[in-house]
Chain A
């Protein structure tokens, strides 16, 4: 067993106290997110794991089996922290402040033995650097998971399928249509067509900021799939600038029913389903006729 491992083992308590006070003194500590007791418990666990791992004699390869408990604790901590909303700085400092605490202790223990001290400090800092890299990796991974989940949720939320009339569905699309989104839109729409037995679907794209050839392709896919199911698709909410880009890009929408507004699309849908809507007012008869 090397010197550092011995010292850490011996001085565990002092190091832990040092480390805690380092962490607590940092401006960035979020005592609103984690209580001091929890922090203390977490830190103690990690230090114990580290001491045990170092005692095996392996002090440079953190991917070895001995370090598994340590890396596990660290990944665990940083993933939870990522979810709780800690900043990367706070999470990074957690491990880096341990380095300071150990270095301080080593300095006291090895006072006067400069060469030994230098060697041990480099060793410790190398080890803890690799550990902090793991911290960042897992922190980012945790964040990415959050992002992934959110984008899933957003695409779920933002594509409601509304039954506007017996046999007529409307689907307002808001935001850009990418291929993942199209997939969700298509699935929801087709499933709803089956559930409600509707034969007309109105896709309203007034909330789509821009239509390029890719978005148009996605729209056409949705229309084709709807037709395969045996329902007709009307695209509405085509703004002037969107009509312009469509024509300038040379996108052919001629075999798709398009309408400028949702209202006129609904009107078309009514007439396709042979539904008549009448106003009760005597003179204002703008009802829909076949």
Chain B
């Protein structure tokens, strides 16, 4: 079965969506991504949708779901590279992706995640393999 590859980059997960998603693929992605977040203890999720030409309410909901689920697991989600036409369409549709952070490109998205999480916490994680087993 077709799947969207998920790359691990340090404390973050990177997903680049290259094809127009059909529903099953999108649901799989949601599933895989959340599993990955819990497995790796990632602190941030970057979803690059620069190659996606259509985002409808279903796709929007998936993105929103991923963001909310990740937040519960203490990871921030950034959607990057949205096409202008897609942004205009989403606004007309009435979908503003509340709770999802956005950035222009992967690089800026990465900066944003660093800002959000804070450099100290990242350091902790690098040294101790996750902040859980650390006592303050």
Contacts and interface: CB of A to CB of B under 8 A. Distances in A.
Nearest to A227: B102
A223 to B, nearest CB: 9
B87 interface: yes
Contact of A225 (B79, B87, B103): B87
A190 B90 CA distance: 13
Contacts of A194: 84, 104
Where chain A touches its partner, the secondary structure class is helix
B124 to A, nearest CB: 25
Given A186-B88, A187-B84, A191-B84, A227 B96 contact: yes
Given A191-B84, A229-B102, A224 B108 contact: no
A257 interface: no
B13 interface: no
Interface residues of A, number: 19
Nearest to B78: A230
Contacts, number: 58
A168 interface: no
A228 B91 contact: yes
Contacts of B87: 190, 225-226, 228-229
B109 A228 contact: no
A185 B97 CA distance: 22
Contact of A230 (B82, B88, B90, B91): B82
Contacts of A221: 91-92
B109 A230 contact: yes
B42 interface: no
Interface string B63-105: 0000000000000001111101011101110001100011111
B90 A225 contact: yes
Contacts of A198: 104
B40 to A, nearest CB: 24
A197 interface: yes
B96 A199 contact: no
A228 B104 contact: no
Contact of A229 (B78, B92, B104): B104
Interface string A216-249: 0000010011111111000000000000000000
Q: Which 5 A-B pairs have the closest CB atoms?
A: A190-B84, A230-B102, A230-B103, A228-B87, A225-B87
